[in-house]
């Protein structure tokens, strides 16, 4: 009898039960059905194709966009006793030849391959001679030209449906808004497959957004307070900022390394390898770093500059806490960030329609940063979910910002937009409200308007913040067909405000926030997976001893330590203190192969 999904889950992966929709997805794919799986990072997506591949006869083929991701996943599977291999440009001819021989002999359970390698005619012909159990298309959002990480080679993957019509295909991603989901289904010809959408919520991540004042000092304060010895990623917009920030952190005692495309290839590879294989390393990077990094114990992600969109923000922050343990996502939001990012979009490649879409996504992110609402509620609503209540695990919930009655300010702003013809941007509208004597104000005779100079009680920066908040609240919208001018939203929404029939609450304005800006941490206990909580010095010391043993074993094999056991498994071992291999076998994450390979060593460490 072939093994059941439950057998493989327990014996190979060391887990007692499935999570969420995993069992339903796996059952559907094992039966031969196609699927699109939308599941957050750390939600267990990999099991949704790995277990069906091991249940079905033949070799599972996994399309993966990055070599680093393939390497880590192949090594992790081999540690579990699974016959896994990869074909990519990093292999020499001899090693690639051995993998091909194993494929022909039916000696591979899971093959990871880059999309460009898969599309070679010789590769497709080779696969025709093999028994294929399924095709898994990881990071499937790369197929969408409207997504945040488009890869042109992914557009060719529809050929799998044409050449292998009876083989089930499962596409998987952690980040896809509604248009992107539709494009994945269309481009990959998954129209007859099922779409499984689980919650995008990452409850173990605490979202923190602070006004940018002195970013380096803010970052240092945040790390000293929360992540003194933790691994993490710090994102900066420019290469120069990356190197300056890494050097700054190193001077202050952190093991920080830079990563960007301008560094020599061997330096990038060395820094990435240290981040993956050592503990407590911080990588300061542009967004070129992170995709394909399967490191589960990244305890924080910090953005020193504004990302491009909510999708980018969600994906980048999702690199924290893959193991489900408490983690932080810090974003320092400056008033000028949105303008810089908008200029980059307008000056970049792409046609007008593409740029309009990217600007619209940027505005949604600005609204997210400016809102006083629960961060998680706003984030999940963007992805089409309706969270039932505030999360209690973000800065807005744990340390609410002050608000004030901004009705009069809103009336002045809306009136100025209306009286200027609803076609000017926030900068020009601000000049009018504060009574600025600029060439454009004189050119359009806007110094003759009744709204000229009526807003001198606020600074230019404060008016820009007000306009952002009014956009976030849906009272103003940006005209994507023109040059980003602001116009009133639907009359039914604006009229009650202009008539004084409806009040508008605004969060405190920039000048009032400067005193609080360095306080990037918030009160309250961070949330995470239901991992055992260590009590007393003895349990804490045992956990550290187990981590030291894991590192020693990992270095001996030149593999990342988390490939041996995740921190969640070590926590469970430190808490349970098993006295036999049988007792250790029920610890989450301890499958049969790992028990045989590492059981005695870890039992000896537990015994002391």
Mean pLDDT to the nearest integer, 258-278: 92
Domain boundaries 205-398, corresponding CATH code? 3.40.50.300
Q: Is the pLDDT of residue 513 over 60?
A: no
Q: Is the pLDDT of residue 532 over 60?
A: yes
Q: Which of 319, 76, 336 is nearest to 215 (CA)?
A: 336
Q: Is the pLDDT of residue 48 over 60?
A: yes
Mean pLDDT to the nearest integer, 28-54: 94
Mean pLDDT to the nearest integer, 50-64: 97
Is 92 buried (19+), middle (13-18) or exposed (0-12) by CB count in 10 A? exposed
pTM of the model: 0.80
CA 224 to chain centroid: 24
Per-residue tokens: 423: 């076609």
What are the residues whose beta carbons fall under 8 Å from the beta carbon of 112, sequence distance 6 or more?
Answer: 62, 64, 70, 73, 74, 84, 85, 86, 87, 88
124-128, 213-217, 382-386, 480-484: least confident range: 480-484
d(CA 237, CA 81) in angstroms, rounded, equals: 41
pLDDT tens digits along 414-424: 999 999 999 99
Mean pLDDT to the nearest integer, 227-252: 95
pLDDT tens digits along 585-602: 999 999 999 999 999 999
Contact 138, 65 (CB under 8 A): yes
- Percent with pLDDT over 70 in the chain: 93
Q: Is the pLDDT of residue 520 over 60?
A: no
Domains 5-197 and 205-398 share a fold: yes
Domain range 536-607, its CATH number among 1.20.1630.10, 1.10.150.80, 1.10.645.10, 3.30.1360.120: 1.10.150.80
The pLDDT value recorded for residue 59 is 98
d(CA 131, CA 262) in angstroms, rounded, equals: 43
The pLDDT value recorded for residue 474 is 74
d(CA 465, CA 471) in angstroms, rounded, equals: 10
d(CA 394, CA 375) in angstroms, rounded, equals: 6
pLDDT band at 519 (very low <50, low <70, confident <90, very high): very low
pLDDT band at 534 (very low <50, low <70, confident <90, very high): confident
The pLDDT value recorded for residue 529 is 58
The pLDDT value recorded for residue 290 is 65
Q: Is the pLDDT of residue 366 over 90?
A: no
Mean pLDDT to the nearest integer, 208-212: 89
Return the HEC string of 29-53.
Answer: HHCCCCEEEECCCCCCCCHHHHHHH
pLDDT tens digits along 293-335: 779 999 999 999 999 889 889 989 999 999 999 999 999 987 6
For the chain, the structural domain boundaries read 5-197, 205-398, 403-507, 536-607
d(CA 137, CA 184) in angstroms, rounded, equals: 10
Higher confidence at residue 214 or residue 256? 256
Per-residue tokens: 334: 């400056």
Per-residue tokens: 86: 């990869």
Higher confidence at residue 73 or residue 528? 73
pLDDT tens digits along 539-555: 999 999 999 999 999 99
Q: Is the pLDDT of residue 13 over 70?
A: yes
The pLDDT value recorded for residue 517 is 40
CATH fold, domain 5-197, is Rossmann fold (3.40.50)
Higher confidence at residue 509 or residue 265? 265
The pLDDT value recorded for residue 55 is 96
Residue 43: CB atoms within 10 Å:
24
d(CA 81, CA 136) in angstroms, rounded, equals: 20
**For the chain, what is the largest distance between any 2 Cα atoms, rounded to a whole number of angstroms?**
86
d(CA 127, CA 125) in angstroms, rounded, equals: 5
- Tokens 């997976």 sit on residue: 529
Higher confidence at residue 608 or residue 280? 280
Alpha-helical (H) ranges within 93-251 are: 93-104, 115-118, 121-128, 159-163, 178-187, 215-226, 239-251
The pLDDT value recorded for residue 327 is 95
What is the per-residue burial (b if ≥16 Cβ within 10 Å, else e) of 559-582? bbbbbbbbbbbbbbbbbeebeeee
Looking at residue 168, the DSSP 8-state letter turns out to be -
> If you average pLDDT over every residue of the chain, what do you get?
89
Higher confidence at residue 68 or residue 419? 419
3-state class (DSSP) for residue 87: strand
Domain boundaries 403-507, corresponding CATH code? 1.10.10.10
- Tokens 């029920």 sit on residue: 586
Angle at 598 between CA 18 and CA 326, to 5 degrees: 50
Q: Is the pLDDT of residue 68 over 60?
A: yes
> The dihedral of CA 22, 24, 29, 30: what is its sign?
positive
The pLDDT value recorded for residue 535 is 85
pLDDT band at 508 (very low <50, low <70, confident <90, very high): confident
The pLDDT value recorded for residue 308 is 86
Mean pLDDT to the nearest integer, 388-398: 90
pLDDT band at 146 (very low <50, low <70, confident <90, very high): low
């Amino acid at each position: 009898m072939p093994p059941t999904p439950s057998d493989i889950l327990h014996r190979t992966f060391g887990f007692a039960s499935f999570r969420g929709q995993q069992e339903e997805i796996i059952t559907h794919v094992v039966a031969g059905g196609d699927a699109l799986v939308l599941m957050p990072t750390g939600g267990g997506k990999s099991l949704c194709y790995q277990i069906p591949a091991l249940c079905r006869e033949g070799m599972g083929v996994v399309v993966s966009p990055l070599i680093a991701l393939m390497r880590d996943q192949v090594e992790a599977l081999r540690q579990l006793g699974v016959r896994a291999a990869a074909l990519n440009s990093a292999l020499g001819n001899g090693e690639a030849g051995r993998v091909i021989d194993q494929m022909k002999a039916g000696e591979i359970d899971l093959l990871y391959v880059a999309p460009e390698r898969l599309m070679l005619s010789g590769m497709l012909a080779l696969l025709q001679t093999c028994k294929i159990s399924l095709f898994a298309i990881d990071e499937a959002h790369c197929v969408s030209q409207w997504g945040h990480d488009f890869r042109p080679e992914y557009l060719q993957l529809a050929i799998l449906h044409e050449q292998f019509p009876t083989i089930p295909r499962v596409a998987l991603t952690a980040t896809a808004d509604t248009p992107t989901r539709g494009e994945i289904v269309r481009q990959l010809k998954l129209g007859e497959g099922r779409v499984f959408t689980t919650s995008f919520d990452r409850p173990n991540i605490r979202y923190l957004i602070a006004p940018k004042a002195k970013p380096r000092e803010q970052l240092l304060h945040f790390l000293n307070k929360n992540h003194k010895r933790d691994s993490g990623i710090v994102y900066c917009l420019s290469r120069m900022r990356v190197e300056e920030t890494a050097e700054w952190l190193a001077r202050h005692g952190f093991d920080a390394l830079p990563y960007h495309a301008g560094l020599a290839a061997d330096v990038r590879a060395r820094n990435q390898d240290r981040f993956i294989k050592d503990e407590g390393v911080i990588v300061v990077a542009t967004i070129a770093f992170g995709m394909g990094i399967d490191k589960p114990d990244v305890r924080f992600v910090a953005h020193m500059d504004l990302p491009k969109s909510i999708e980018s923000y969600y994906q980048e922050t999702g690199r924290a806490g893959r193991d489900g343990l408490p983690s932080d996502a810090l974003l320092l939001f400056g008033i000028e960030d949105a303008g810089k990012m908008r200029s980059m979009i307008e000056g970049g490649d792409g046609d007008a329609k593409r740029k309009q879409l990217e600007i619209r996504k940027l505005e949604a992110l600005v609204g997210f940063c400016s809102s006083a609402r629960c961060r998680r509620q706003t984030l999940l609503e963007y992805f089409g979910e309706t969270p039932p209540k505030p999360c209690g695990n973000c800065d807005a919930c744990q340390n609410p910002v002050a608000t004030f009655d901004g009705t009069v300010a809103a009336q002045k702003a809306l009136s100025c937009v209306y009286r200027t013809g609803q076609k000017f941007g926030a900068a020009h509208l601000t000049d009018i409200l504060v009574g600025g004597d600029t060439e454009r104000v004189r050119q359009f005779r806007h110094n003759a308007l009744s709204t000229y100079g009526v807003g001198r009680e606020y600074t230019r920066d404060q008016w820009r913040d007000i306009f952002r908040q009014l956009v976030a609240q849906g009272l103003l919208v940006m005209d994507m067909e023109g040059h980003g001018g602001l116009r009133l939203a639907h009359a039914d929404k604006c009229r009650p405000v202009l008539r004084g029939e409806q009040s508008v609450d605004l969060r405190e304005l920039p000048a009032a926030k400067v005193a609080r800006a360095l306080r990037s941490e918030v009160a309250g206990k961070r949330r995470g997976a239901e991992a055992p909580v260590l009590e007393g010095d003895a349990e804490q010391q045992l956990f550290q001893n187990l981590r030291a043993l894991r590192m020693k074993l990992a270095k001996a094999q030149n593999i990342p330590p988390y490939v041996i056991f995740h921190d969640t498994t070590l926590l469970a071992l430190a808490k349970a203190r098993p006295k036999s291999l049988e007792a250790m076998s029920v610890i989450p994450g301890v499958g049969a192969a790992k028990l045989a390979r590492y059981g005695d060593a870890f039992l000896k460490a537990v015994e002391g």
